[in-house]
Chain A
Amino acid sequence: SQTIHQWPATLVQPVGSPLSLECTVEGTSNPNLYWYRQAAGRGLQLLFYSVGIGQISSEVPQNLSASRPQDRQFILSSKKLLLSDSGFYLCAWGLSRIDTQYFGPGTRLTVL
């Protein structure tokens, strides 16, 4: 069966510091991968999605970036964090065109 991992689980970072969140999927090949942010009262916001290695689509222009160095690895990064980057970051995966998305456990980021 498929499993999705995210780390770290929680993170507290100062404003202006860099960020790297990692997501890996096990038990499947060539998944579509997604990064979402969930802020209180604002619902789930799609940030990036990837249909293959090195293929990244950005949904929201901001100071975050994503990379997919391996088939089942998805990384969310920032060079300088803003206070507004605080939130719950979720990675998700999906397969065929009629499939849906399955979420990881999430990373809670607090920027101080």
Chain B
Amino acid sequence: QKEVEQDPGPLSVPEGAIVSLNCTYSNSAFQYFMWYRQYSRKGPELLMYTYSSGNKEDGRFTAQVDKSSKYISLFIRDSQPSDSATYLCAMSRYGGSQGNLIFGKGTKLSVKP
């Protein structure tokens, strides 16, 4: 079983839709959870960073962590064509600066105008 599983998509939605992106993981020691957005031919950009279980909201983005189910989600409200990108989940035991970030393979999202 892989440590982090993420559906690669592609996921295509109309503009204005609510998007749900998800990752599952197997290591119950993970405590820090991140979502990165990567545009084509660019480096990943940190979108959301959460610790332990719960929700975190930033504008149109909401990150949700359910440690009991080993499941994390990123919701995008009122999706825009500019949200079209690959979304990577990442997680770690210590917060990611110890060289131990585990990444999903990314979900490619396309928002159609």
Contacts and interface: CB of A to CB of B under 8 A. Distances in A.
Contacts of A102: 46
B59 interface: no
Interface residues of B, number: 24
Interface residues of A, number: 27
Interface stretch (B13-21, B72-80, B91-99): B91-99
B97 A43 contact: no
Interface in B86-113: 88, 90, 94-99, 101, 103-106
B45 A42 contact: no
B41 interface: yes
A44 interface: yes
Contacts of B60: none
Given A100-B32, A102-B46, A106-B42, A94 B96 contact: yes
Interface of B: 32, 34, 36, 41-46, 49, 51, 88, 90, 94-99, 101, 103-106
In the A-B complex, list the 7 residue pairs whose CB atoms are closest, starting with the nearest: A94-B97, A49-B99, A103-B43, A98-B95, A100-B96, A43-B105, A44-B103
